[in-house]
Amino acid sequence: MRVAIAGGGLAGLSCAKYLVDQGHTPIVLERASVLGGLVAAWKDEDGDWVETGLHAFFGAYPNMLQLLKELDIEDRLQWKKHALIFNQPEKPGVLSRFDVPDLPSPINVIISILRNNDMLTWEQKIRFAIGLLPAIVRGQEYVEDMDRYSLLEWLEKQGIDDRVNSDIFIAASKALTFINPDEVSATIPLTALNRFLQERYGSKIAFLDGAPPERLCQPIVDYVTERGGEVLVNAPLKKIVLNEDGSVNHFLMKGSTESEEYTITADAYVSAMSVDAMKLMMPDEWKAQPYFQQLQELEGVPVISIQLWFDRKLSDVDHLLFSRSPLLSVYADMSNACREYSDPDKSMLELVLAPAEDWISRSEEDIIEATLAELAKLFPDEIPDQAKLLKARVVKTPRSVYKAIPGRQQFRPVQTTPISNFFLSGSYTMQRYLGSMEGAVLSGKLTAQAINSAKALSSSNNASVTSKPVSQSIPNAATA
């Protein structure tokens, strides 16, 4: 079966990978000149990679790890020591570590919490543990039910000390969803915590050994194209054109000039675009259907990524750090943490600025200045007096992953739509992980399964599924 997929982020690429595994022929159509979507990166004029965002992989990413194994590139993940590391605003420059011993879960995580005395008192730890009990005992069902509350409301409801929020959950919430605990749904951090408590290596962190388009997306492209699929960049979907019965007739694509356009026809069609792009592209005829209406309740959250190159080493920490700064979320010195960016003499910090609502329209100069002021608290011996900033790059993403505020779980759509030959994919669609790389990969796999099942069903019903050729005239798109 020919399947046209609009969107070459991780969801679209994963969908294509699992479709070729099932003997289908996908064509991925990516609007941008580079693949990856939210994991995209490109080289600046000096040949340095600029990334859309710092991306951490977790041990609790079974679908991502399985994909890397199937592509035979598992060795591209650089696993860090099993620990979570926080800055301490009250002690500038001093780190607080939760070192997780190599013991079965959940005892390993519990020991790491009990051993850390920098951040919580014993009484706070005990009240936190009691508050968490329903999530541990009743599992994911309870966690999903807590989508009614913001994290802050849930912490209050469970009688968990404010210090647990300020010490741990502000940092966790900003890292997971780019918003604060008063906004984020309690389901999100509880889902992550549950995985960390249930899987021995769930909270273990890795970075990719280089830029995602080359080190992660390209192997998927090679896999797909070697098996008869196609992956195109510079191929923006312009319109989803319908048959009279509301099913998709073809994708109308934008050519290289305003007036130029071409069509892509296939047996099945997938949107692996972000929810915001899908809402814009939605045909009027579908808008009244409850399935499509629920998308109106989801929207992307702003986030800003900052990369700073310094003339000297700021630290030798080879790990992800939770800044616990009001402005910043997580960061890493990629000159220590990533093989391709490694430099024995100079630091390259990659940082996430979140929540970014108030910053997304500010100038790059303002953002860099504010970031350096925060870094002066994290590296008081080096900034501002010793280390010289050589270069800075700022990437703003006004609509990134869906904003995980309370009540959103019910609006996340399943991959099968009411339209017989149209499917959705993307980390915002319903799957058991958050808006994450793992969620994107899993959603792509689920979409491929849904398409395969629909094909099997139509074959067994003797419905005629005629294989339509993909249009050969693609004026400006380039093979990835």
Q: By the criterion CB under 6 A, which residues form the site for ligand FAD?
A: 6-12, 29-32, 37-39, 52-56, 236-237, 272-274, 277, 303, 305, 352, 397, 400-401, 426-427, 435-440
In whole angstroms, the minimum distance from the beta carbon of 113 to ligand FAD comes to 22
Q: Provide, rounded to whole angstroms, the least separation between the CB of residue 163 and ligand FAD.
A: 26
Shortest distance in whole angstroms from residue 253 CB to ligand FAD: 8
Return the number of the residue (11 or 146) whose C-beta is nearest ligand FAD: 11
- For ligand FAD, the closer of residues 7 and 131 by Cβ is 7
Q: In the bound complex, what is the minimum distance in angstroms from residue 47's beta carbon to ligand FAD?
A: 22
* 36 versus 131: smaller Cβ distance to ligand FAD: 36
Number of Cβ within 10 Å of residue 462's Cβ equals: 6
Is 269 or 310 the residue whose CB approaches ligand FAD more closely?
Answer: 269
Q: Write down the least CB distance from residue 428 to ligand FAD, Å.
A: 7
Closer to ligand FAD by CB, 155 or 237: give it.
237
Q: Which residue, 6 or 266, is less far from ligand FAD as judged by CB?
A: 6
Q: Which is nearer to ligand FAD, 109 or 320 (CB)?
A: 320
Smallest distance from the beta carbon of 409 to ligand FAD, in angstroms? 16
- Shortest Cβ distance from residue 9 to ligand FAD (Å)? 2
User: For ligand FAD, which is the closer residue by CB, 149 or 331?
Assistant: 331
CA 232/CA 217 separation, integer angstroms: 12
- Nearest CB to ligand FAD, comparing residues 14 and 158: 14
Compute the least distance from the CB of residue 459 to ligand FAD, in Å: 29
Measure the CA angle with vertex 310, ends 307 and 311; round to 5°: 155
Shortest gap between Cβ of 154 and ligand FAD (angstroms)? 23
Residue 447 CB partners (closer than 8 Å, separation 6+): 11, 15, 270, 272, 415, 423, 424, 425, 429
CB of 40 to ligand FAD, least distance (A): 7
Sorted by sequence, the CB contacts under 8 Å of residue 174 that are 6+ apart come out as 180, 329, 330, 352, 354, 355
Determine the Cα–Cα distance for residues 297 and 294; give it in Å rounded to an integer. Answer: 6
* 186/231 with CB nearer ligand FAD: 231
CB of 297 to ligand FAD, least distance (A): 17
Whole-number minimum distance, CB 473 to ligand FAD, in Å?
Answer: 18
Nearer of residues 5 and 186 to ligand FAD, judged by Cβ: 5
Gyration radius (Cα) of the chain, Å: 23
HEC secondary structure over the chain:
CEEEEECCEHHHHHHHHHHHHCCCEEEEECCCCCCEHHHCEEECCCCCEEECCCCCEECCCHHHHHHHHHCCCHHHEEECCCEEEEECCCCCCCEEEEECCCCCCCHHHHHHHHHCCCCCCHHHHHHHHHHHHHHHHHHHHHHHHHHHCEHHHHHHHCCCCHHHHHHHHHHHHHHHHCCCCCCCECHHHHHHHHHHHHCCCCCCEEEECCCHHHHHHHHHHHHHHHCCCEEEECCCEEEEEECCCCCEEEEEEECCCCCCEEEECCCEEEECCCHHHHHHHCCHHHCCCHHHHHHHHCCECCEEEEEEEECCCCCCCCCEEECCCCCEEEEEEHHHHCHHHCCCCCCEEEEEECCCCCCCCCCHHHHHHHHHHHHHHHCCCCCCCCCCEEEEEEEEECCCCECCCCCCHHHCCCCECCCCCEEECCCCCCCCCCCCHHHHHHHHHHHHHHHHHHHHHHHHCCCCCCCCCCCCCCCCCEEC
CB of 306 to ligand FAD, least distance (A): 10
Token digits of residue 216 = 């992660």
How many CA atoms does the CB half-sphere of 432 hold within 13 Å?
A: 12
Question: Which is nearer to ligand FAD, 78 or 124 (by Cβ)?
Answer: 78
